[in-house]
Amino acid sequence: MILDQVLVQFPIGKILSYSLRESYINNEIFNIGDTVQNSNTGFIGRVMRRGANYLIYVTESGMMFKSWLKDLAEYTEVKMDRMMRDKTHPNTLVGTKGFFDYVRKLTAGSEKGVKVSNAYKGYK
């Protein structure tokens, strides 16, 4: 019964935003130099300035953005160079060397070291 009263007074969204803000104020998350990703746009950048409830971050291409704390998440790059995640499952993380090797293995005539002719030589 007490739990029901607490949930009525503090909706779940406010509890989560309160803990996010407290962690931010205590310098536990989103410190200067950390890499963050915006959940709305997908942009990834390095934190340059910490505001009261926002961050200013710069992408690798030099674009500067300002985003609210609630829209950001810490970004950790996953590197997976193996062709198989485990004994039975292939690596399907697009953009990794392991995925490239897996797809190359499935593609007929694409052995390592064999160059594929470029049909679009004229395009630049």
CATH number at 48 reads 2.30.30.140
Per-residue model confidence (pLDDT) at position 7: 42
C-alpha dihedral (95, 101, 106, 110), degrees to nearest 10: 110
Domains contained in the chain, number = 2
Same domain? 67 vs 83: no
Per-residue model confidence (pLDDT) at position 85: 76
pLDDT tens-digit series, residues 5-18: 444 444 444 546 77
Same domain? 13 vs 70: yes
* 49 vs 93 pLDDT, higher one: 49
Per-residue model confidence (pLDDT) at position 55: 95
Per-residue model confidence (pLDDT) at position 18: 77
Tokens 């509890």 correspond to 15
Domain that holds residue 94: 78-113
pLDDT tens-digit series, residues 23-62: 999 999 999 999 999 989 888 899 999 999 999 999 989 9
Same domain? 56 vs 108: no
CA distance 7 to 11: 6
